[in-house]
Structure 1
Amino acid sequence: MRTFIYMVRHGESPKTEGDERTRGLTDKGRSDAHLITQLLKDEGIDAFISSPYKRAMATIEELAQLVDKEISVFEELKELVFIGNDQIMADNELYPLVKKMFSEPDFSLPGGESVRICQNRAVRALRKIVDQYRGQKVVIGTHGAVMTLMMGYFDSQYDLEFLLTTSKPDIYRMEFQDEVLVETKRLWRD
């Protein structure tokens, strides 16, 4: 039985307000969320699941409302925790850290988590979703690193190089036959 998972990476988000959990979308991020709605509105989506972070939920919220569906929040789908207390890291600090973390999967900063720990928690959640929503189409509001780790678990081409080429937002449709990934297709066009 075929199950489709639509990984929707969140839109552009300001790093000047709130923290990792509460920062929302920029004007461009909200405009791109509208484009996501237009792109996916006729896909026949059965369910919406999101990371607990506001920017991920906000990116899929309009589409969920349009098709009259609630968004279920899964804590396990939150972004890779780079540093403790939901602190926002500047990009010039974050990118070298991400490279180190992908090359050393057990490395983490104090209060953060390793790539291995993040991948294990997120893949457990994704397997649960694929099982629970077997034969359906599910949108997941997600983030770059955790999305890459989930996709990379099933197909090694989704690695750090892939992550660095993704956009905000981005959409990848994963097709599962039972629990086996058979195809991944990028749906977003910059």
Structure 2
Amino acid sequence: MENKSYKEYLEHITTLIFDVDGVLTDSTIMVTTTGEMLRTMNIKDGYALKTAVDKGFHVCVISGGNNEGVRLRLEGLGITDVFLGVQNKIEQLNQYIEKQQIDLKNVLFMGDDLPDFPVMQLVGLPCCPQDAVQEIKAISKYVSHKNGGNGAVRDVIEQVLKVQGKWLDNFNAKYD
């Protein structure tokens, strides 16, 4: 792995891929008496995801979990590439980047636990929330100061968009 600051990768990112549980959620699942599994998602993460979609980034979700409520929330934000119930994340990633003609070096992937490990080793900018497991932190080029489900997704998207001059560009604001 090259010894570069993670910020040097941000300007080349065209694709943002996220796991769900532990990244877009706080890893907590509430189980109802009917067996329904409920998750909570951060509204600020949602705003950042929608902004990235609106700015033309490829935004994708690849998760082993399979919850229709999660799919509906993400599709409501404009994310059309939502892959849930994925057993082989590398295979899904390869299908996605081939279909979209994306170079792996331009991909940011945020994961939090061991199922994300193989995929994170392939992408240009592996990232994780502050509360990710140690093995994931060890291979991440960026560890957010925010926990999963509590703004980690917003943190990393905001950084990418700011470096590329696309955060608040409608308001004529510029950031370093």
Same fold (TM over 0.5): no
State the TM-score, normalizing by the size of structure 2.
0.40
Q: TM-score, normalised by structure 1?
A: 0.38
* Structure with the bigger percentage of strand: 1
